[in-house]
Structure 1
Amino acid sequence: MTRVLFICTGNVHRSVLAERLLAARLAPGSAVRPESAGTQARPWSGMEASTRAVLEELGGDGSGFAARPLTAQLVAEATLVLGLAHEHREAAVRLAPTALRRCFTLKEFVRLAVGGADTLRGGEAGGEGTATTHGDVPDGQDPPVVDGFDVVVAATARRRGTATPVPPAEDDISDPWGRPHSVLYGCAREIDGTVSTLARLLGGGASL
């Protein structure tokens, strides 16, 4: 089982949407298990009503959810840790420093992984596995699929040190807490687009 852990602050809106929308976009039988937690979350069963409404409007399943606080164990056990903002990624690294190379923001990971797909096609897997891709990436079309979750994570971590930096805010997804429904819906759409790219990049997760 490949565990992808999404982190936000309260485990109420952003990380919940990322967890359940990725689950909805993965192929049937996927070996990827999306999870979520919050840096300031309190254990609580059930999904916040507005989050569930937006999630289900986008085709996600809101049943059986329980909010939980972020722990060092959750970070250590995850194959990939994705904060919805830089502060969440940093909190994960503080809890489990050895997980640094597996911790990104969601948008950062997808940006770097898609940007490095051509490098992976050329075989720069650094001895950590063989990566294959399918197709090119014309503007507006799907990214190539890379076979091997661990290969993608390792190559993306290496690319983080060499890729042209972007302003930190570009890799964050803003917190919709306490804001109008339209802001929450826009946040959900942004997350959905990003996790959909993640699912396609990894071939829907079916072969992992």
Structure 2
Amino acid sequence: MIANQERFNRAIALFDAANAQDPNQDEGLPKELLYARRMTEMIGRFAPQASEVAQLAVRAQHIQRWTVPRSSYPMTKPGYFAWRTGLYKFHAETAGDLLVQAGYDAPMVEQVKAAVGKQGLMTNPDTQLLEDVSSLVFLEHYMLGFAGQHAEYSEQKWLGIIRKTWKKMSGDAQRFATTGGIKLPEPLLPLILKAVAEG
């Protein structure tokens, strides 16, 4: 339920304007703009009755991600985790600023920032829903391309990646993924099913 459709539309327009600045292209669109639209499309399929907080959070999940490149942190495992943590904060703060511009009050802004910042995973329903939607979008739209970029990975490495994604998802999202809710990448289907079956 959207409390104020005009305000909600303003926020989405601000998010999209920010992501439209992405110089990287994917299927003829700014990469993060396409990603944001795919997130909204997925939450509409998976959780059509999602809260306004969750709907705003999924649209802002990767907002202006290209401005914080991986190379801005040490190319080490701790550097990777620091980058990811930094991104969560950056996305949350950026989304929060735009929500204030759109006319949202402080409590609503803080709820969206908590979800985008990945706070309370497994306990905050909006954060978990964001995690579910991002995992479903990865499986349907990005996993095959990621596999193409990392052809050197062993089967065991891939099974580990799939299992990590799977464990982040709720039972509802797992069932949605395996019962036709998303289009799993055909070339990777045997590997996905093996990873899921073996847990």
TM bracket (short chain): under 0.3
Higher helix share: 2
Larger gyration radius, structure 1 or structure 2: 2
TM-score after normalising by structure 1: 0.27
TM-score after normalising by structure 2: 0.28
| Structure having greater relative contact order (Cα 8 Å, sep ≥ 6) | 1
Higher strand share: 1
